[in-house]
Amino acid sequence: MNALELTDVRKVYPVGDSEVVALDHASLTLGQNEILALVGPSGSGKTTLLSIAGGILSPSSGKVVVGGEDISDYSNGQLTRFRQEKVGFVFQSVNLVPFLTAAENLFVVDELGPRTGKPARATAGKLLDELGLAERTKNLPSQLSGGERQRVAIGRALMNDPDLVLFDEPTSALDTGLGAQVMELIRSEMKQRGISAIVVTHDPRITEYCDRTVQIVDGELSA
């Protein structure tokens, strides 16, 4: 079973009397344990594709299957539950809840769905330990460095044991060295857990950490 299958997906935004095509008949398959780099200039449709794959946005037409689950026609409520249970996100800018500690930023994922309590706390502690943040569990995001914040965000994205993790420009706010460290961490964590991922970037150096690269220009995909 593939981690993601996009078939002839189209996303159109109405602008006044006309339309803007953000994604134009895009088809893409992401295999199990595969890390894919999605590269393209600003406004090319990278984020739209990522959002559709993650159930944040619904396609105008086409089919979206994540981990064998067809989410193409899901309602907002179904998409919310899908995001809760099946995908992990690491965003470019807003990534952590400022009034929660590092551990609580992971534990909150459990609070959003059917609560498990203690096992979730244990998982959060284990993840932070693996990510080298064992000493920072009680720190608020404002007390963490940029790299540490991204590592906490990665931990949060893994909390629900997802089928797919989506990274939106995960290193754009970091310097080159730190960016490389974070990408190495992403790769090792994904491979270790057998989780598939899409990394959206406009930085060609990031592609080195991915198994495959797909270009996107004006909403059209090309290998």
Partner 1 sequence: MFLALREIGRAKARFGLLVSAIALLVFLILFQQSLQNGLLTSFTGAVKNQSAPVLVYSVDGQRVLQASVITPDLEQRVRSTEGVGEVGAIRQGTFTGAPLTESENFDTSVIGYDAGADGEGLGAPASLSEGRLPTRAFEGVASAADARNGYGVGDVVRIVPGDAEISIVGIAQEAQLNVGPTIFVSNETYLELVAAVNPDAGVPPPNVLGVAPAVGVTDAQVVEAINGQSLELDALTRSDAAAKTPGVAQVQQSFAIIFLLYALVVPCVTGLFFLIVTFQKAGALTLLRAIGASARSLVWSLLLQAVIILGAGLALGILLYLPVSQTRLGGLELQFEEGAVIGWSIALLALGLVSSLFAARRVLKIDPMEATTGRGVGQ
What is the contact surface with partner 1 in residues (CB under 8 A)? Answer: 47, 50-51, 56-57, 77, 80-85, 89, 91-100, 104, 107-109, 111-113, 140, 156, 160, 168
Facing residues of 26 across strands? 9
If the CB atoms of residues 82 and 209 are measured against partner 1, the closer one turns out to be 82
Count the Cβ atoms, other than its own, within 10 Å of residue 1: 10
CA atoms within 13 A on the CB side of 218: 0
**CA 90, CA 99: separation in Å to the nearest integer?**
18
If the CB atoms of residues 98 and 194 are measured against partner 1, the closer one turns out to be 98
Which amino acid, one-letter code, is at 169? E
Q: How far is the CB of 100 from partner 1 (least distance, A)?
A: 6
Q: How far is the CB of 181 from partner 1 (least distance, A)?
A: 23
Q: How far is the CB of 223 from partner 1 (least distance, A)?
A: 24
- Helices (H), ranges, the chain: 46-53, 76-86, 102-112, 118-130, 146-158, 176-193
Q: How far is the CB of 93 from partner 1 (least distance, A)?
A: 4
If the CB atoms of residues 36 and 57 are measured against partner 1, the closer one turns out to be 57
Q: How far is the CB of 98 from partner 1 (least distance, A)?
A: 6
Which amino acid, one-letter code, is at 107? F
If the CB atoms of residues 53 and 182 are measured against partner 1, the closer one turns out to be 53
| Bridging pattern class, strands 69-70 and 35-39 | unpaired
Q: How far is the CB of 49 from partner 1 (least distance, A)?
A: 11
If the CB atoms of residues 65 and 140 are measured against partner 1, the closer one turns out to be 140
Residue 88 contacts residue 162 (beta carbons within 8 Å):
yes
**CA 201, CA 92: separation in Å to the nearest integer?**
10
Residue 43 contacts residue 50 (beta carbons within 8 Å):
no
If the CB atoms of residues 111 and 184 are measured against partner 1, the closer one turns out to be 111
104, two tokens: 């609580």
